[in-house]
Amino acid sequence: MSVDAIRSYFEGYPWWAYSGTVVLVSFLLSWLVFVITRRYLIRALSNLTRRSESTFDDAVLENVISNRLAHIAPVLVLYAMLYWVPEITFWARPLLLAVIVLIILLSIGAFLNQTTDFLQQKSYFRDKPVKSYGQVLKLLIYLLGTIIIVGIVTNSSPLTLLSGLGAMTAVLLFIFRDTILSLIASIQITAYDLVRVGDWIEVRKYGADGDVIDISLHTVKIQNWDKTITIIPTHKLIDETFINWRGMQQSGGRRIKRAIHIDINSIQICDERMLEEFRKIRLITEYIESKEKEIDDHNQALDIDGGVKVNGRRLTNIGTFRAYVTAYLRNHERINHDLTFLIRQLPPGNMGVPIEVYVFTNDTVWANYEAIQADIFDHLLSIVPEFGLRVFQDPSGMDFRNISQQPSA
């Protein structure tokens, strides 16, 4: 039936009576189509998706088809019905066509969101910045869709608008500067495997120290150990220096690097009484015997007078203590012996002579590591006096009080 045939039924009525009737009928039909689509078509699709084991199709149905794509049906009805109202067709139909394009764009964006969420649940993509690439793709699609919408509303060719973008390159580069930098940074992060979701990283400039919980196009989200969240622009992460502790976690060992400062005044050459006591220490009994034989052979070969301590070689209490620390940690079940193992003496300073422990535990979990380290030094600090040594400590208030309470001569 033609428009003129329908208009003949409204002869003698104002023009708006015909137009209003058609518009009202159009909205009623579009509402009816929307109800049928949501109540029957979506429900039928829902019954199909429930039969599959994957949750991806359920999410797509709920967030893409039901919440967005289903709105195209009533808009298409309006678009078709307004053909019968020439008075508003010339401006209403382009707007409705732009709305259809907008719905399609939003549906594609929602589909990309569901796809990235689904991929990040897979073990292979869990540590990949999938969200960054999804956001880049969405940005390009939205940009292209915006050009199409503007072309429809202004009744101009999208190709003409695209050609005009060349003249606006400088402006676009300025507007999308951070986006471009973040895209390049995301590519570098992926190509060089710098950061993954789940990595423990430390970015001192921003006070960030914790696990990476999200990598998107524009930001990297870090949950610090105090449960606060630090958000760093993606391109800033590449510009600044940061520490990634992934290598430590993968190595199977976590470093202990701590020194015990020995009071220089307590260091001495071992006499026979001290050596006799040291021989009773099971871990260094063999060391004492072999070292004594080595020293005696050396001194006899050079005909050195053993009555003068300064002549020849002698065992010292600090050297024996260092040997004990080595033997103790060699036999410790929580030390990783495949990694660097070093017990060394550092240069003396105003805090005495440092004996540094440089070893690795075989447990990288923070709480376990701290417990192992504490147990080791609890033991070492407590047995220092057994070697005739003292741990250096700055004088405290109690030390000065004891001095002041001593009777004067």
Q: Does 8 fall in a domain?
A: yes
Q: Does 239 fall in a domain?
A: no
Task: Rounding to the nearest 10 degrees, give the CA dihedral for residues 10, 13, 14, 20.
Answer: -50
**CATH at residue 353:** 3.30.70.100
Tell me the two tokens of residue 186. Answer: 């995301």
pTM, to two decimals: 0.59
Q: What is the pLDDT of residue 115?
A: 84
Q: Does 299 fall in a domain?
A: yes
Q: Does 14 fall in a domain?
A: yes
Q: Does 238 fall in a domain?
A: no
Give all strands (DSSP E) within 237-375, no chain letters.
Answer: 243-244, 254-262, 342-345, 353-361
Instruction: Give SS3 for 244.
Output: strand
Residue 346: which domain range? 254-394
Q: Does 405 fall in a domain?
A: no
Are 258 and 356 in contact by the 8 Å Cβ rule? The answer is yes
Q: What is the pLDDT of residue 371?
A: 96
Q: What is the pLDDT of residue 304?
A: 75
Phi then psi for 379, rounded to 5 degrees?
-70, -50
74, 104, 121 - which closes a domain? 121
102, 121, 140 - which closes a domain? 121
Tens-binned pLDDT, residue by residue, of the chain (409 aa)? 555 555 555 555 555 565 677 778 778 888 888 888 877 777 777 777 777 777 777 777 777 777 787 888 888 888 877 776 766 777 777 888 888 888 888 888 888 888 888 887 777 776 666 777 777 788 788 888 888 888 888 777 766 666 666 656 666 666 777 777 887 887 788 777 888 888 999 999 899 999 999 888 788 999 999 999 999 998 888 888 899 988 888 888 999 999 999 999 999 998 889 999 999 999 999 999 999 888 888 888 877 766 666 777 889 999 999 999 999 999 999 999 999 999 999 999 999 999 999 999 999 988 999 999 999 999 999 999 999 999 998 876 666 666 666 665 5
Task: Rounding to the nearest 10 degrees, give the CA dihedral for residues 168, 171, 174, 177.
Answer: -30
The residue whose two tokens read 């969240």 is 229
Q: What is the pLDDT of residue 129?
A: 67
89, 121, 153 - which closes a domain? 121
Q: What is the pLDDT of residue 140?
A: 81
Helices 72-81 and 15-36 cross at an angle (nearest 10°) of 160
Q: Does 383 fall in a domain?
A: yes
Q: Does 193 fall in a domain?
A: no
- The total of structural domains in the chain comes to 2
Question: How far apart, in Å, do the first and last CA atoms of the chain sit?
Answer: 128
